[in-house]
Amino acid sequence: MKYWCLLSLTFLSIFTNAQNSSNKKALNFFERANPFIQKQDYASAEQVLKNAIEADPHFQDAYALLAGVYKAQRKYSDAKQAFQKVLALSKNVSPEILFGTAEMEFATQEYAKARQHFTEFLNLDASSDRAKKATKYLMDCDFSVLAIKKPFKYTPTNLGSGVNTTDAEYFPALTADGETLVFTRQVNGNEDFWTSQFKNNSWTMATRLSPKINTARYNEGAQTISPDGKYLFFTGCNRPDGLGRCDIYVSHREGNDWGEPYNVGKPVNSEYWESQPAISPDGRTLYFISNRPGGSGGYDIWKSTITDDAKWGPAINLGTDINTSYDENTPFLHADGKTLYFSSDGWPGFGNKDIYFSRMDDSGKFTTPVNLGFPLNSFDDESGLIVSADGNLGMFSSNLKDGFGAQDIYSFGIPEAAKPSKVSYVKGIVRDKDSKKTIESNVQVVDLKTNKTVFDDYTDPETGEFLAVMPIGSDYLFNVNAEGYLFYSENFELKAGDINKPYQIEVYIEKIKPGGNVTLRNIFFDTNKYNLLPASIRELNLLIDFLNQNTTVNIEIQGHTDNIGDAKLNEKLSLNRANAVYDYLLKNGIDLRRLTFKGFGANKPVADNKTEIGRKNNRRTSFVITKI
């Protein structure tokens, strides 16, 4: 709404000092409108201008100013009629009136008339900033004529009184499990973060986020939260440690306590304006808005990726695949790591800022943005969309008629064409095997097909919990490491039907001690062969790291099979497989005096050989601590 007020005041200033009536009564009413407009009291301005027109029905400037007042109130149909009245009364039509008429015709979906008047405007003014906008509107007319014929089912639902109040709520951010919502609430001009939990199919009464983040002196806003809910990136302005007017900050949560936020620093932040961060699901790439030099327009989407030395890399503009000579804002990268939602007034749309989506291909290039469609997008500004991890639900803020206050947060169903790729998540907790106490540990998840790390972070030091998001339809390697403990190895598959069934696991790891045993579940061989498959390298290197970090530890590598086939052949196969692991460790610098290997065939089963699952568990490679 503030945007429209400022925009309309620019237009209204053309007419507040103008007059083309000799009727004193009409002129008196006309002049009384100006103070109301300056105070943005548009209802009062509207009334005195109507009085002026009643006194002089041919008062063109009163109609023009009334049109601007209607526009400031988003009464587009009334504004259009007022502009059209000026056209009917005028002998020499000004470019401003033509532009205003065309814009309101566009806003009320009279695209043919809008196109005609924008063209007439450009014949009179082809070089001003407004001419650039008129040219963009012509493109929008052509787009809207077709797009409005293909509406999607749109039923926005208010999140309810737990989240929304008579104050303004906006900028929703949601964790991957859909259980925690963080949003901005503005009270008496001060912006703070609030949070609510989704329980029993509704949002709980929101509470303020930590006072370490919320301040009385500064505004905090435009936030995003990592999928696991442990990192909050947000915008802070005019702070003592700021590099520019607005910078991006981050806070890390441990248990229920948020840490002191800190400026992420250069090269993300600069002497210019940085805001509206969005973090990738693996936590390694930060997207944000900046007006720094080197972009395509006023405000562009940029990104920075963490380097090998754990620092943010150079800020890179997303380029003309995404950015235009106009403004882009409110980026949101979905948990699939590929689908980017953002707002722009530079791509073909319904006028002003619309919401778009684009998908990143395997080379890292974004596809041409697609307008999310009507009726979500309209002539007004739309921005700030986020999408749930399952891809079904969108959240945004608006001042719809059924709201509680100035601005509320709503949800709606994402149209099929705009849905991201299917993802799910792994959620778990790590404990000490003996004491059952939770442990802070490093968790890694790797896509076995691409060998790409999709998650690498530490569990919560207080709760031992972690949450990792990843695409469905792949096999994953899963490892847990903690200082002084044997590492844990597992693999799992997220099937296409598992989108609403996340992989949940409780991991128990044991301290390093003689007799400690680890099953290497990510050592792979071809059937009845002992050559190591490439997918085994990650786990083998993990074992090497373990031995290098614990230089006094000696191990015995053990090979095992199921009971299918000849027992002697199985023992030989298991021995050869253990030997293959032994040879790999030797070739990579592990002292042979620390290593032995044995093959046990089917003599040490850990499961029943009568089932396929049991036989699969029995076909394994493991190691045992022989000395520390």
Residues 80-107: tens digit of each pLDDT: 999 999 999 988 889 999 999 999 999 9
Do the Cβ atoms of 345 and 354 come closer than 8 Å? yes
What's CA 198's distance to the chain center, in Å? 19
Q: What is the CA radius of gyration of the chain?
A: 31
Nearest to 559 by CA among 525, 593, 590, 585: 525
Determine the Cα–Cα distance for residues 331 and 349; give it in Å rounded to an integer: 17
Distance CA 350, CA 208 (A): 37
Residue 506, classed as helix, strand or coil, is strand
- Residue 245 zone, left/alpha/beta (φ > 0; ψ -120 to 50; rest): alpha
What pLDDT is attached to residue 16?
47
Rounded to the nearest angstrom, the gap between the alpha carbon of residue 311 and the centroid of all alpha carbons in its chain is 21
Q: pLDDT at position 91, please?
A: 82
Q: Which residues of the chain have pLDDT under 50?
A: 1-10, 12-14, 16-17
Continuous segment of H or E residues that includes residue 121: helix 111-124
Tell me the CA distances in angstroms from 512 to 480, 483, 546, 575, one per residue in order: 14, 9, 11, 25
Instruction: Report the Cα–Cα distance between both ends of the chain, in Å, rounded.
Output: 69
For the record, the structure tokens of 135 come out as: 């040219």
H or E element that contains 397: strand 393-398
Environment class of 275 (CB within 10 Å of its CB; exposed 0-12, middle 13-18, buried 19+): buried
Query: Cα–Cα distance between 308 and 283 in angstroms, integer?
Result: 13
3-state secondary structure of 445: strand
Q: Which domains does the chain have, with CATH numbers?
A: 2-147 (1.25.40.10), 157-414 (2.120.10.30), 422-511 (2.60.40.1120), 512-628 (3.30.1330.60)
Report angle CA 135, 141, 142 to the nearest 5 degrees: 100
Distance of alpha carbon 16 from alpha carbon 45, whole angstroms:
11
Instruction: Kindly report the pTM of this predicted structure.
Output: 0.88
Sequence-separated (6 or more) residues with CB below 8 Å from residue 154: 375, 376, 412, 413
Side chain identity at residue 442, one-letter code:
N
If we measure between CA atoms, which residue out of 242, 228, 321 comes closest to residue 275?
A: 242
- pLDDT for the residue 585: 98
Q: Which of 608, 520, 605, 603 is nearest to 568 (CA)?
A: 603
Q: What is the dihedral of CA 294, 295, 297, 303, to 10 degrees?
A: -150
Mention every residue, 6+ apart, whose C-beta is less than 8 A from residue 593. 554
pLDDT for residue 499: 63
